[in-house]
Amino acid sequence: MHFTLNGRAVSFEGAGSRRLLDVLREDLRQTGTKEGCGEGECGACSVLIDGEVVNSCLVAAGQVEGCDVTTVEGLATNGGLSPLQRAFIERGAAQCGICTPGMLLAAHVLLQRTRRPNAAAVREALAGNLCRCTGYTKIIEAVLSCAT
Amino acid sequence: MFEVTQATEVYSTIEIAKGDVAAGEQAADFVVERTFRVGLQEQLYIEPQGAIAYPYRETGNGKRETGVTVVGSLQCPYYVHRALKRALALTDEQAVVIQAETGGGFGGKEEYPSIVAIHAALLACKAGWPVRLIYDRHEDLAATTKRHPGVISHRTAVKKDGTLLSQDIYIVLDGGAYCTLTPVVLSRAAIHAAGAYSCPNVRIRARAVATNTPPNGAFRGFGAPQSLFAAELMVEHVAERLGMSSVDLRRKWMLRVGDTTATGQNLTESVSAELVLDAALRAVAPNRLTAQPPIRHGRGLSLVFHGSGFTGSGERKLSGTVAVAGLANGTFQILTASTEIGQGTKTIFCQLAADALGVGLDKVVLAPQDTSLVPDSGPTVASRTAMIVGRLIQEAATELRDRAKREPLPLRVEKTYVQPDSIHWDEATYRGDAYPVYAWACTIADVDVDMTTGEVRVTDVVTAVDCGKALHPVMAEGQIEGGSLQAVGWATIEEIKMKDGGYQNDRLATYLIPTALDAPRIRTILVENPYSRGPFGAKGIGELPMDGPAPAIIAAIHDATGVWLDEVPATPEKVLAACTSR
């Protein structure tokens, strides 16, 4: 299987029916992607496939043949955190951190598509990513602070 | 499911008595009676339970020696350490427990990780190979402990002018089929049951019983959200009976400096009921929007307190120990078993140490939560980490700074908690100083109720919290906001249906927690009324935000609909049934 992961060509051998989540974590050692429920409810395993947010626990690895996959590791550039990542840190949007990779990716896509989202749009965009620590307030503030 | 009020197997009972309730009732113009029910709740940390066990321990030079090492998602390394020693007949040295980065706890990783660790360790010892044991979400929901459901009855005697004469309270908590930390949960429930009010005559009887459900256990708030829910709604019912505003009645009853609690504790400092009430009321706009049918708006308020640190003699028995070490290279290390589970432990500990040492934050590191390296500073529970452990770190770092002026590095200073002489507690009679100090909160909730579906939408929560001193205001707000939403979930949508003693909705597709779309706008107001023995005056606030929202939401539903619910969660079915039967 061949696909692009965070801008680099990668390949792995094995059953295409395996969960993309497991291939990313176990084979490719990209452990930023987390498992929270394994049934597409919590969004902790969110990744981008060709720019769309998907739950990688529900994607068979064979489906990403030739696709462009982005995980949270792909948000930083040249070892520097993205403005969104920095905003999460500065505004207290990450507490225990397990939902953070998925939150960042969902927020990243929103900000790519909507330069100045309002709070309602942020809530809508993050509704597939559960957080139990923050009450979402600081996450929403962090995303809004990155509107350009 | 066995009916908790009928259950005959009793895990523990508590009786708290102050004054003479019968005399209070005799002098009363009114006696108001009401019974309340609260439901199960799952902690729902986003990272499920999990551990990796190794059938050996590694010494400094990488050599493997007899023993067992467990790396896990957990709150209390030394709890797991004790469990491993007992289960596998290991010595202190042979059992090694290391906390992994932990994706949330909320009490759910206080006790349960010992079970996961022992299972993984047994398998590892048998296989002679490391074993990874991670629960999937379904297994986690089906097997791990939940918040105790309960039934709480109140009889409150008052005079016509609102003078509070007596409170007679009866609590039954459902422990499930096996006993966990249930007796301790019951204790916190009982001690908080009279609410943040001063009453001359109080009787609190509490019992925890066995039923045929999976066991219930530790969950943020630890019994207090259950008993405070009843206490706060009781204020509303008495106010209604008197024809008074419930805010005015709270002002009349609320605890002030010099008052005594139900256990006879004389409150001497950092008593902030009035401060938080005023702060919350100032923060909300008095005018409300007019709602379009079938939606109706409502607003409700609650006033609560929560003890910081372990109950009674708990901190003295624990004797939590920390160390701060100055290394030869000029950096400093904090050694404690207190864990970071999202609440900010790592940050505030480093802040406290750096400040006391007079060095930059970059010169201080927190040693890993590894039982082979760090002393036992006690479990990461009971709103104690900032106040109790943080203070020990501050003391150790201060002493280290002084010694470093005279002695060369490396140096290490240990500090062990010593109970102040002024704290007295009698475990046998439940009289005395139940907690070193209390944190206070006033919560105002706004709701929209859809009168055709019974659906309740919490639109706004404003909460004013006295935390003594916010060591890191952004993180303190974050913890309060998260706790508030967890309480909103408990009050509205988080429901577990039972069948034959088992959970029916034990998947994340069927047990729902609030999403970003469900969550209200939450605004936190930090009030700082310092506590003399907290670091910079800080008190514990980990559990407090779980206490206030539920009763405020039920009061808001009443404001919107004219109907009183006596239970949570306020599901659409219950709201609709209550509105129709009216």
Which residues, including other chains, have CB under 8 Å from residue B113's CB and lie 6 or more apart? B49, B51, B72, B73, B74, B75, B76, B79, B80
Instruction: Name the residue type at position B467.
Output: C
At B315-363, the pLDDT tens digits run 999 999 999 999 999 999 999 999 999 999 999 999 999 999 999 999 9
Buried-state track B316-345, b at ≥16 Cβ within 10 A, e below 16? eebebbbbbbbeeeeebbbbbbbbbbbbbb
Which helix (H) or strand (E) covers residue B309, if one does?
Answer: none
Cβ–Cβ under 8 Å, residues B250 and B235: yes
Share of chain A above pLDDT 90, in %: 95
Q: DSSP labels for B210-279?
A: E-SSPPB---TTTTHHHHHHHHHHHHHHHHHHHT--HHHHHHHHB--TT-B-TT-PBP-S---HHHHHHH
- The token duo for B130 is 């490391």
Instruction: Name the residue type at position A55.
Output: N
Residue B47 contacts A where some CB pair is shorter than 8 Å: yes
Residue B52 contacts A where some CB pair is shorter than 8 Å: no
Which residues, including other chains, have CB under 8 Å from residue B22's CB and lie 6 or more apart? none
When pLDDT is cut at 50, 70 and 90, the band that residue B291 belongs to is confident
SS3 of residue B53 by DSSP: strand
**Domains (range + CATH), chain A:** 2-73 (3.10.20.30), 83-145 (1.10.150.120)
- Topology, domain B10-42+146-310+431-580: Aldehyde Oxidoreductase; domain 4 (3.30.365)
Residue B484 contacts A where some CB pair is shorter than 8 Å: yes
Report the pLDDT value the prediction gives residue B286, as an integer from 0 to 100: 78
For residue B473, the tally of other CB atoms under 10 A from its CB is 14
Contact B137 A39 (CB under 8 A): yes
Report the pLDDT value the prediction gives residue B341, as an integer from 0 to 100: 97
Report the pLDDT value the prediction gives residue B287, as an integer from 0 to 100: 64
Option in B137, B341, B509 nearest A96 (CB): B341
* Integer Cα distance of B536 and A1 in angstroms: 58
For residue B283, the tally of other CB atoms under 10 A from its CB is 15
Residue B330 Cα to chain centre, angstroms: 38
SS3 of residue B363 by DSSP: helix
Instruction: Name the residue type at position B548.
Output: G
Which residues in chain A have their CB less than 8 angstroms from residue B473's CB? none
Q: Which of B305, B320, B292, B225 has the alpha carbon at shortest distance from B261? A: B305
Give B233's Cβ-side CA count (13 Å radius).
Answer: 31
The distance of B138 to chain A (nearest Cα, Å) reads 8
Which residues, including other chains, have CB under 8 Å from residue A68's CB and lie 6 or more apart? A3, A4, A48, A49, A50, A51
* Integer Cα distance of B39 and B318 in angstroms: 31
When pLDDT is cut at 50, 70 and 90, the band that residue B289 belongs to is low
Report the pLDDT value the prediction gives residue B182, as an integer from 0 to 100: 98
Option in B341, B509, B517 nearest A41 (CB): B509
Q: What is the mean pLDDT of residues B74-88?
A: 98
Q: Please state which of the ranges B235-249, B286-300, B399-413 shows the lowest mean pLDDT.
A: B286-300
Report the pLDDT value the prediction gives residue B62, as an integer from 0 to 100: 85
pLDDT, mean over chain B: 97
Radius of gyration of chain B (CA): 24
Which residues in chain A have their CB less than 8 angstroms from residue B483's CB? 135
Cβ–Cβ under 8 Å, residues B547 and B480: no
Buried-state track B45-68, b at ≥16 Cβ within 10 A, e below 16? bbbbbbbbbbbbbeeeeeeeeebb
The distance of A66 to chain B (nearest Cα, Å) reads 30
Residue B346 contacts A where some CB pair is shorter than 8 Å: no
Which residues in chain B have their CB less than 8 angstroms from residue A34's CB? 46-47, 103
Residue A63 has pLDDT above 90, yes or no: yes
When pLDDT is cut at 50, 70 and 90, the band that residue A56 belongs to is very high
Residue B288 has pLDDT above 80, yes or no: no
Residue B1 has pLDDT above 60, yes or no: no
Domain B10-42+146-310+431-580 and domain B314-416, same fold? Reply is yes
Q: What is the dihedral of CA B279, B280, B281, B285, to 10 degrees?
A: 120
Q: Which of B513, B511, B146 has the alpha carbon at shortest distance from A129? A: B513
Q: Which residue has the tokens 């390394």?
A: B77
Q: What is the dihedral of CA A26, A27, A32, A37, to 10 degrees?
A: -40
The distance of B343 to chain A (nearest Cα, Å) reads 6
Share of chain B above pLDDT 70, in %: 99
For residue A91, the tally of other CB atoms under 10 A from its CB is 19
Residue B513 contacts A where some CB pair is shorter than 8 Å: yes
Which residues, including other chains, have CB under 8 Å from residue B257's CB and lie 6 or more apart? B267, B268, B269, B271
* Integer Cα distance of B230 and B225 in angstroms: 9
Contact A132 B45 (CB under 8 A): yes
Residue B379 has pLDDT above 80, yes or no: yes
Radius of gyration of chain A (CA): 15
Which residues in chain A have their CB less than 8 angstroms from residue B147's CB? none
Q: Which of B170, B210, B215 has the alpha carbon at shortest distance from B40? A: B215
Option in A34, A39, A126 nearest B47 (CB): A34
Q: What is the mean pLDDT of residues B47-71?
A: 95
Residue B465 contacts A where some CB pair is shorter than 8 Å: no
Going by the DSSP 8-state scheme, the letter that residue B366 receives in this structure is E
For residue B79, the tally of other CB atoms under 10 A from its CB is 24
Q: Please state which of the ranges A96-110, B59-73, B87-101, B348-362 shows the lowest mean pLDDT.
A: B59-73
Cβ–Cβ under 8 Å, residues B505 and B441: no
Which residues in chain A have their CB less than 8 angstroms from residue B544's CB? none
Architecture of domain B314-416: 2-Layer Sandwich (3.30)
Contact B47 A36 (CB under 8 A): yes
* Integer Cα distance of B483 and A135 in angstroms: 7
Which residues in chain B have their CB less than 8 angstroms from residue A36's CB? 46-48, 103, 137, 508
Contact A123 B101 (CB under 8 A): no
At B524-554, the pLDDT tens digits run 999 999 999 999 999 999 999 999 999 999 9
Report the pLDDT value the prediction gives residue B61, as an integer from 0 to 100: 85
Which residues in chain B have their CB less than 8 angstroms from residue A124's CB? 516-517
Residue of B515, B517, B525, B546 to mutate, testing the A interface (most A Cβ within 10 Å of its Cβ): B515
Contact A96 B103 (CB under 8 A): yes
Domain ranges of chain B: 10-42+146-310+431-580, 50-143, 314-416
Q: What is the mean pLDDT of residues B445-466?
A: 97
Nearest CA in chain A to B506: A37
Report the pLDDT value the prediction gives residue B581, as an integer from 0 to 100: 86
Which residues in chain A have their CB less than 8 angstroms from residue B42's CB? none
- The token duo for B340 is 């970071």
Residue B463 contacts A where some CB pair is shorter than 8 Å: no
- The token duo for A101 is 């990779």
The distance of A3 to chain B (nearest Cα, Å) reads 28
Q: Is the ipTM of this complex over 0.95?
A: yes
The distance of B486 to chain A (nearest Cα, Å) reads 7
Check whether domain B50-143 has CATH 2.40.30.10, yes or no: no
SS3 of residue A3 by DSSP: strand
Contact B482 A37 (CB under 8 A): no
* Integer Cα distance of B343 and B103 in angstroms: 11
Residue B48 contacts A where some CB pair is shorter than 8 Å: yes
Which residues in chain B have their CB less than 8 angstroms from residue A138's CB? 474, 477-478, 481
Edge-to-edge strand ranges of the sheet holding B95-99: B95-99, B68-72, B50-54, B131-134
Q: DSSP labels for B420-489?
A: -TT--EETTTTEE-SSSEEEEEEEEEEEEEETTT--EEEEEEEEEEE-SS-SSHHHHHHHHHHHHHHHHH
Residue B102 contacts A where some CB pair is shorter than 8 Å: yes
Report the pLDDT value the prediction gives residue A57, as an integer from 0 to 100: 98
Option in A35, A95, A131 nearest B343 (CB): A95
Which residues in chain B have their CB less than 8 angstroms from residue A99's CB? 46
Residue B46 contacts A where some CB pair is shorter than 8 Å: yes
Residue B475 contacts A where some CB pair is shorter than 8 Å: yes
Residue B344 contacts A where some CB pair is shorter than 8 Å: yes
Residue B213 has pLDDT above 90, yes or no: yes
Contact B104 A96 (CB under 8 A): yes
The distance of A115 to chain B (nearest Cα, Å) reads 20
Residue B479 Cα to chain centre, angstroms: 12
Q: How many CB pairs under 8 A join A and B?
A: 122
* Integer Cα distance of B567 and A9 in angstroms: 56
Cβ–Cβ under 8 Å, residues B536 and B469: yes
Cβ–Cβ under 8 Å, residues B32 and B238: yes
Which residues in chain B have their CB less than 8 angstroms from residue A133's CB? 104, 342, 478-479, 482
Report the pLDDT value the prediction gives residue B2, as an integer from 0 to 100: 65
